[in-house]
Amino acid sequence: MLENNITQVHGITPQQLRENILKDVRTELKEIVLNFQPKTQPEYLTRKEVAKILKVSLVTLSDWNNKGVLKPYRLGNLIRYKREELDQALISINSKNK
């Protein structure tokens, strides 16, 4: 059996109700647009790119991999690093040195 839900609004015209609803919806949509952060794809860097950015040798890079300073991602023989994790590793290295 279907239930009928009736909402009664007193003291406001249908046009005023419509305008109030539209105003509130627009306000919410503006806030969503301001806070919207599109999901970005992670950027992967090669060993040579990372070594060049950090201005270290490939040997140092391998040493940092073994020590857990950097987190390499492996796909077969390929080694890649996420740029965002690289930035975080630099921050953690600098905070440990202070």
Helix (H, G, I), strand (E, B) or coil at 73: strand
**Residue 42 near residue 80, CB atoms below 8 Å:** no
Helix (H, G, I), strand (E, B) or coil at 75: strand
Domains of the chain are: 44-97 (1.10.1660.10)
Q: In the 8-state DSSP scheme, what is residue 69?
A: S
Write the pLDDT tens digit of every residue in 33-89: 888 887 888 899 999 999 999 889 999 999 999 988 899 999 899 999 999 888 888
Cα separation, 47 vs 53, whole angstroms: 10
Strands 78-82 and 73-75: antiparallel
For 96, the token pair is 């440990």
pTM: 0.55
